[in-house]
């Protein structure tokens, strides 16, 4: 005799039929004995289909985590602020006929100071700063598994949450290169985004070397595999020195979007330039495809870093510049060589050296 739900069965075949009808589970029979297994299933006909909404079509789907990756100093943070500016004012982004309704944004950026860098950039871009917020950590580091992410989204009914860079928000003991460490975090963030119908953008630095875009992500190819949309930002052959491309490298919910170009410099600030046929591989293999020496590539990277840092026209402390460069993995000697090549000016103010273009 075996038990099936509320039934007492003396005939195995009849019992199995009753088990299937009640939907409570199945009886597995093998050489070592019989095992009753509870299994919860849903039939496709009982699922209500839902349309996919997007904050920025097709790049930023609502209810999902999205990855933006590129080399350090290429303007990823500035790009996220340009996105935030448009979203805060309900303005259309490139390729859109109309903007998403003006919404609140939360930015967690550990590489730039709010008062000296982020707020001035937002003002320069024309953002509605009443709709842009950040979490006061109050001595407790914010990580990807932190419940304050969802709490902040709900507090402000935010539709866009930027985590920049992803590496600085990893819980202690997490390895970027191990699937078992990264996948649960991305699944958690995806669940948060779905529950709140927001977009969570994870920003990270690309790994060095040649190869396909999906294999040069933030440490594990599983990061790319775990999210529905991936963007690649950087330089490419035949682009002006101050022009960057943003390529759509992965899109689970729609066709890939067109590559968008923008210019970033002291004279023009941030300026959208239109579409391009540049691919993610063009961006990620740019240095290698040009056949330049590693030393020259590093100087160019440092020059791009300084251009982004000083592009607002405000003088920046040399000490702060060096600290930010070190965080971006750029050596002090390389920064000095790039500064000389760019003719960055230095002046002493109240006992501190200040740099400006």
Identify the residue whose tokens are 């009849």.
Answer: 14
Rounded distance between C-alpha atoms, residue 245 and residue 127, angstroms: 22
| Phi (first) and psi of residue 160, to 5 degrees | -140, 125
Q: H or E stretch including 190?
A: helix 179-196
pLDDT tens by residue, 127-174: 999 999 999 999 999 999 999 999 999 999 999 999 999 988 999 887
Contact 224, 217 (CB under 8 A): yes
CATH class of domain segment(s) 292-356:
mainly alpha
- CATH 1.10.10 domain locations along the chain: 292-356
The model's pTM? 0.73
Rounded distance between C-alpha atoms, residue 85 and residue 99, angstroms: 11
Q: Check whether the bond before 58 is cis (ω within 30° of 0).
A: yes
Contact 21, 7 (CB under 8 A): no
- CATH 3.40.50.300 domain locations along the chain: 54-287
Distances (CA, A) of 82 to 69, 205, 213, 348: 16, 19, 24, 32
Distances (CA, A) of 28 to 16, 19, 37, 39, 50: 10, 11, 7, 12, 36
Distances (CA, A) of 168 to 142, 171, 303: 9, 9, 24
pLDDT of 350: 82
Q: How far is CA 303 from the centre of its chain?
A: 24
Contact 167, 205 (CB under 8 A): yes
**Residue among 99, 55, 88, 101 at smallest CA distance from 201:** 55
Evaluate whether the domain defined by 54-287 bears CATH number 3.40.50.300.
yes
Per-residue pLDDT of the chain (357 residues; tens, 9 = 90+): 455 444 445 555 555 554 444 456 788 877 777 888 888 889 999 999 988 899 999 999 999 999 999 888 889 999 999 999 999 999 999 999 999 999 999 999 998 999 999 999 999 999 999 999 999 999 999 999 999 999 999 999 999 999 999 988 999 887 666 667 788 999 999 999 999 999 999 998 876 544 455 545 555 577 888 999 999 999 998 899 899 999 999 999 999 999 999 999 888 889 999 999 999 989 888 845 544 444 556 777 788 788 777 766 678 888 888 888 877 778 888 888 888 877 788 888 888 888 887
């Amino acid at each position: 005799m075996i038990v099936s739900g509320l039934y007492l069965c003396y005939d195995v075949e009849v019992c199995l039929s009753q088990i299937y009808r009640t939907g409570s589970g199945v009886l597995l029979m093998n050489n070592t004995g019989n095992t009753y297994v509870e299994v919860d299933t849903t039939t496709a006909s009982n699922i209500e289909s839902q349309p996919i909404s997007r904050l920025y079509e097709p790049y930023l789907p609502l209810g999902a985590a999205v990855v933006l990756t590129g080399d350090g100093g290429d303007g990823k943070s500035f790009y996220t602020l340009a996105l935030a500016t448009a979203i805060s004012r309900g303005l259309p982004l490139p390729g859109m006929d109309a903007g998403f309704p003006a919404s609140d944004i939360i930015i967690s950026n550990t590489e730039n100071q709010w008062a000296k860098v982020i707020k001035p950039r937002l003002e320069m871009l024309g953002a509605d700063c009443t709709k842009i917020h950040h979490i006061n950590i109050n001595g407790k580091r914010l990580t990807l598994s932190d419940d304050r992410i969802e709490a902040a989204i709900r507090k402000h009914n935010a539709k866009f949450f930027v985590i920049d860079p992803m590496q600085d928000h990893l819980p202690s003991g997490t390895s970027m290169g191990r699937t078992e460490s990264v996948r649960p975090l991305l699944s958690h963030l995806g669940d948060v985004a779905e529950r709140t119908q927001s977009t969570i953008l994870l920003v990270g630095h690309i790994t060095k070397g040649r190869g396909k875009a999906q294999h040069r992500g933030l440490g594990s190819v599983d990061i790319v595999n775990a999210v529905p949309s991936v963007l690649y930002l950087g330089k490419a052959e035949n682009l002006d020195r101050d022009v960057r491309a943003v390529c759509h490298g992965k899109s689970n919910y729609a066709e890939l979007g067109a590559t968008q170009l923008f210019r970033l410099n002291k004279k023009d600030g941030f300026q959208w330039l239109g579409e391009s046929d540049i691919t993610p591989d063009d961006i990620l293999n740019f240095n290698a495809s040009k056949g330049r020496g590693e030393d020259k590539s590093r100087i160019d990277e440092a020059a791009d870093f300084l251009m982004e840092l000083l592009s607002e026209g405000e003088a920046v402390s040399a000490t702060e510049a060096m600290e930010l460069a070190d965080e971006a993995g750029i050596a002090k000697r390389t920064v000095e060589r790039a500064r000389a090549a760019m003719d960055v000016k230095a002046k002493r103010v109240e006992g501190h050296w200040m740099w400006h273009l």
